[in-house]
Chain A
């Protein structure tokens, strides 16, 4: 059961990345490769707030959320906005990888290359729960991730803004003809994704440490979560993330310490091969 808890806690982080990908994907149809890097910056800002400035938990979280939200806005303006209306869609492949790399480089230059410990402000003593041990911080991480994931899922299906964003991801021109401010929605989605990533910086950092190349693994496993859950499905991404975390934890426990990445990779390839739309994704037909 301890393995399950560990898997769920790691999985929660992958779910968060998948949620961030999906928020932007649903509203603007763009895949923001740099989202995992935003989460990475969130852990550093949480460190700066909680340790360097010695702020209490709530202001530290707010600082990280605001900082990452602003960065996301900046990224949208520099890496995404200039590409809108281009005929070929490959530009964002390059620019968001560029943005991610800049964030990696800046984090390494500003905070150094050594991992930093981020204090969660929660008691460190592990709890006994359902026959396994789990740290309080991990429990909170799992719970809040579930809350945000399910909340966003319901919101995207039932609120007016959520539906509008679904519509504009489906067809920008049609949506904007219906009076939806497509551009504002796109920006809003980036900022929202940034705010969520920043707000979780403290909890994520408490589990993984703040380290400049955190984004690489997170980007990958977050994408695996999307592949499992199906692109554009908030619930799918949430479940996919937890599933990836569990696969990782069980592979590490039962196959060997060195193997979890390879096992996740094999699962990833299998899913792409057998069910490329994911378990929860719906098949879209091509339009001319």
Chain B
């Protein structure tokens, strides 16, 4: 097993080396070596799409346009300036891709959903038109004959070109793997599932989506530059809408949320196209069916199948089990107390919010202090969650101010407020797919303990240190909550009570200053509730500021230092649990009971 484990990371390298040597050794003929090159190029296009679609959750249909940009930039450099160096061509193509990515991504991502898809779709439709307009540079409909590519005076043709294309593809996939299998990839997945959760982690949704989109544009342009070298000829007919659809189909067939699925998807589509002549007539119907079926069944493509098969083989003992994550790497002792938290005073002064003409919150002034639990109670629709959303920046206040340690934070973007150390949980826990519990908890540290993208791609020591620290801290928190055994389970397979605990761990992981718990107790059974009480108590003792929105009156009485009662958007009472408990108006309002019934409720609540 140790032998196998040691060679695991090397196996892709071995495969690439074997494939590179194949034509030289006479293992594959010209037809197949061309097919391999075309698969490599298509897989670059698909891989770029996967970063955007499978990870960041935005549909980018413009891979073909970027492909054209890469091809023409490389071709033009060679023809016009005699700059035939392949590395120069790839560099120029990358630069052009980043430029086009920024120009289209900045406006295209302003709105969610379909706007990026449409902007990029527009790019594809514009390709023939643009080639025509720029015919002095592109040769128009006649096409452009590219110069013979070179590298340090050596002509890159035949087998050399084959090796070069495979090498570039391998380097890109190494980059993609290192990027996606890091906290950055995990946060992309969070973004795909829930932009709200991403901003709670302190991530600027817009910038991260733009980043993913621009990164995804790069391999497409590289593919274009490589393509211009294969045939030595670039014509507009290559860059069709059908090709755009085949990239999309290859992505869903291979599995969009995977690194190597792109290669499998590209191979299926490329070989299918070459093998079946009827494919041409029915290609649109076939692509469309792939998309429809994959979208509806939500299968994870060939990569998903392979993943399931491996997991099944491991269960049956046919393959050695994966080492259970680092449980092992970093021994930690279960601790009763948390490290010191640097709590902050959160104050609202006359905070108001109205939607249209409806006042959801009127002139609410509360203060939450470090080392205290401040509870907000009130019937449904009384404005509790509105207040939380105002604090987090999801709503902009209509009036009043919101102060964190005397700094005005009202109106700031949610991710900025999160970065100041305000964290929250949700009424319905927001839990991403395709991620382990441990990785999810570690995303809590993404902005507070940031490791750069370059460090992740190059696997620098800073990345290794950061990763180990994230893992150790997340495991420590899970152990502290008594759910360490779930570290390697898919986080979306957990039950509601456990999800709330995991959310608490995620919130704690960044070492925040202010905690907002939104109806943290609802739907929990006794044992989970006990753990949560312990968590909130420990945060309080460690000096954190806790704001608790809760329906469970006995729980509030037990935990809170101060209680604020909201009704119809107004603060009707504030005080210690004892004061609130004896306030008849509160009980009447809160339980909807008459005075006499309220009396009974008080006694019950106190029990």
CB of B294 within 8 Å of the partner chain: yes
Give Cα A99–Cα B292 distance, bound, in whole angstroms. Answer: 6
Min Cβ gap A226→B in Å is: 9
Do A270 and B285 touch across chains, with their CB atoms under 8 A apart? no
What chain B residues lie within 8 Å of A285 (beta carbons)?
355, 394-396
Do B111 and A93 touch across chains, with their CB atoms under 8 A apart? no
What chain B residues lie within 8 Å of A219 (beta carbons)?
118, 121
Cβ 8 A contact of A93, one of B117, B355, B392 = B117
CB of A273 within 8 Å of the partner chain: yes
Q: How many residues of B contact A (CB 8 A)?
A: 61
Given A90-B192, A101-B291; A272-B285 close (CB under 8 Å): no
Give Cα A165–Cα B263 distance, bound, in whole angstroms. Answer: 44
Do B296 and A91 touch across chains, with their CB atoms under 8 A apart? yes
Cβ 8 A contact of A83, one of B282, B296, B518 = B296
CB of A122 within 8 Å of the partner chain: no
Give Cα A105–Cα B242 distance, bound, in whole angstroms. Answer: 10
Do B296 and A102 touch across chains, with their CB atoms under 8 A apart? no
CB of B7 within 8 Å of the partner chain: no
Instruction: Digitize B95-128: 1 where CB-to-A-CB distance is under 8 Å, 0 elsewhere.
Output: 0000000011011101101110111011001100
Min Cβ gap B56→A in Å is: 10
What chain A residues lie within 8 Å of B577 (beta carbons)?
none
What chain A residues lie within 8 Å of B196 (beta carbons)?
286, 288
Q: Give chain B interface residues in 157-212, CB to chain A under 8 Å.
A: 192-193, 196
CB of A248 within 8 Å of the partner chain: no
CB of B57 within 8 Å of the partner chain: yes
Q: Which residue of B lies closest to A34 (CB)?
A: B288
Find the residue from A105, A219, A262 having the highest chain B CB count within 10 A: A105
Give Cα A259–Cα B132 distance, bound, in whole angstroms. Answer: 10
Give Cα A98–Cα B132 distance, bound, in whole angstroms. Answer: 29
Do A109 and B282 touch across chains, with their CB atoms under 8 A apart? yes
Q: Which residue of A lies closest to B297 (CB)?
A: A82
Do B57 and A90 touch across chains, with their CB atoms under 8 A apart? yes
CB of B130 within 8 Å of the partner chain: yes
Give Cα A82–Cα B297 distance, bound, in whole angstroms. Answer: 8
Min Cβ gap B55→A in Å is: 12
What chain B residues lie within 8 Å of A270 (beta carbons)?
107
CB of A128 within 8 Å of the partner chain: no
CB of B283 within 8 Å of the partner chain: yes
Min Cβ gap A86→B in Å is: 8
Q: Which residue of A lies closest to B118 (CB)?
A: A223
What chain A residues lie within 8 Å of B287 (beta carbons)?
98, 101, 105
Q: Which residue of B lies closest to A31 (CB)?
A: B114
Given A83-B295, A109-B281; A98-B289 close (CB under 8 Å): yes
Given A88-B57, A258-B133, A265-B126; A33-B285 close (CB under 8 Å): no
Do B295 and A101 touch across chains, with their CB atoms under 8 A apart? no
Do A273 and B132 touch across chains, with their CB atoms under 8 A apart? no
Q: Which residue of A lies closest to B286 (CB)?
A: A105
Instruction: Digitize A275-286: 1 where CB-to-B-CB distance is under 8 Å, 0 elsewhere.
Output: 011000000011
CB of B59 within 8 Å of the partner chain: yes
Do B129 and A258 touch across chains, with their CB atoms under 8 A apart? yes
Do A98 and B118 touch across chains, with their CB atoms under 8 A apart? no
What chain A residues lie within 8 Å of B103 (beta carbons)?
269
Do A94 and B122 touch across chains, with their CB atoms under 8 A apart? no
Do A97 and B291 touch across chains, with their CB atoms under 8 A apart? yes
By secondary structure, the B interface counts as: helix
By secondary structure, the A interface counts as: helix
Do B107 and A102 touch across chains, with their CB atoms under 8 A apart? no
Cβ 8 A contact of A109, one of B110, B118, B285, B293 = B285
Give Cα A106–Cα B130 distance, bound, in whole angstroms. Answer: 29
CB of A117 within 8 Å of the partner chain: no
Do A95 and B295 touch across chains, with their CB atoms under 8 A apart? yes
Do B288 and A98 touch across chains, with their CB atoms under 8 A apart? yes
What chain B residues lie within 8 Å of A268 (beta carbons)?
119, 122
Cβ 8 A contact of B284, one of A78, A101, A217, A273 = A101
Q: Which residue of A lies closest to B290 (CB)?
A: A98
What chain B residues lie within 8 Å of A93 (beta carbons)?
59, 113-114, 117, 295
Give Cα A106–Cα B288 distance, bound, in whole angstroms. Answer: 10
Give Cα A163–Cα B48 distance, bound, in whole angstroms. Answer: 43
Do A89 and B113 touch across chains, with their CB atoms under 8 A apart? yes
Give Cα A99–Cα B293 distance, bound, in whole angstroms. Answer: 10
Do B283 and A105 touch across chains, with their CB atoms under 8 A apart? yes
Could you give 12 example pairs across A and B, Cβ below 8 Å?
Answer: A88-B433, A89-B113, A90-B53, A90-B59, A95-B291, A98-B295, A101-B245, A108-B284, A216-B125, A219-B121, A287-B394, A288-B518
Given contacts A269-B107, A269-B119, A288-B389, 18 further A-B contacts (CB under 8 A): A79-B292, A88-B57, A90-B192, A91-B295, A93-B295, A94-B59, A95-B296, A97-B59, A97-B61, A99-B288, A105-B283, A109-B282, A109-B285, A220-B125, A258-B129, A272-B115, A285-B355, A286-B196
Residues of B within 8 A of A (CB): 53, 57, 59, 61, 103-104, 106-108, 110-111, 113-115, 117-119, 121-122, 125-126, 129-130, 132-133, 192-193, 196, 241, 245, 248, 252, 281-296, 298, 355, 385, 388-389, 392, 394-396, 426-427, 433, 518
Residues of A within 8 A of B (CB): 31, 33, 78-79, 82-83, 86-95, 97-106, 108-109, 213, 216-217, 219-220, 223, 227, 258-259, 261-262, 265, 268-270, 272-273, 276-277, 285-288
* Those 6 A-B pairs whose CB atoms lie nearest each other, nearest first: A105-B284, A98-B291, A101-B288, A102-B288, A98-B292, A105-B285
